[in-house]
Amino acid sequence: MAAPVRILCCSVFKHSSRRFSTTCGLQGGEQWRKQHGLARSGTEYGPLTDLPDWSFADGRPAPPMKGMLRRRQEREELARRIVMLNSEMDRGMESWREKKDEAQRMEEHKKSLLLKAKGKLLKKKHPPS
């Protein structure tokens, strides 16, 4: 009995005109939000995501939720990474400047070691004032 059902199901799927999509759907309004400087979706950041859902009746804040703690930790890690990459970039730029200055000093030193014009050649290059 199981075999005919399997054959029937397979034949139904083969002859079905509707196909399954495996692509990611575009969020509605994503372009508009990007153009207006907002997040891609309404759940990435903002008051609905970052603020607590409730508070106690006496005004005490609610304890932070797991999602809030996770997002806070992700932001701290991102900030640390940005600071680290920025310091690496500063060190790289400083190293590049030092190499550039050293190359310029070496070039000037090489020019100073070249033979100098003497006698009549010196007078032709630099007329007396």
Residue 30, both tokens: 């994503």
Residue 101 lies in a domain: yes
Residue 80 lies in a domain: yes
Residue 65 lies in a domain: yes
User: What mean pLDDT do residues 103-120 have?
Assistant: 88
pTM score above 0.75: no
Domain that holds residue 42: 34-110
Residue 82 lies in a domain: yes
CA distance 75 to 79: 6
Residue 127, both tokens: 């007329």
More confident residue, 21 or 123: 123
Residue 70 lies in a domain: yes
pLDDT of 92: 98
Residue 115 lies in a domain: no
Residue 16 lies in a domain: no
The per-residue pLDDT for range 53-92, each reduced to its tens digit, is 889 999 999 999 998 899 999 999 999 999 999 999 999 9
How many domains does one find in the chain?
1
More confident residue, 26 or 60: 60
Tell me the DSSP string of 27-57.
PTTHHHHHHTT--SSTTSSSHHHHS-S-B-T
Residue 98 lies in a domain: yes
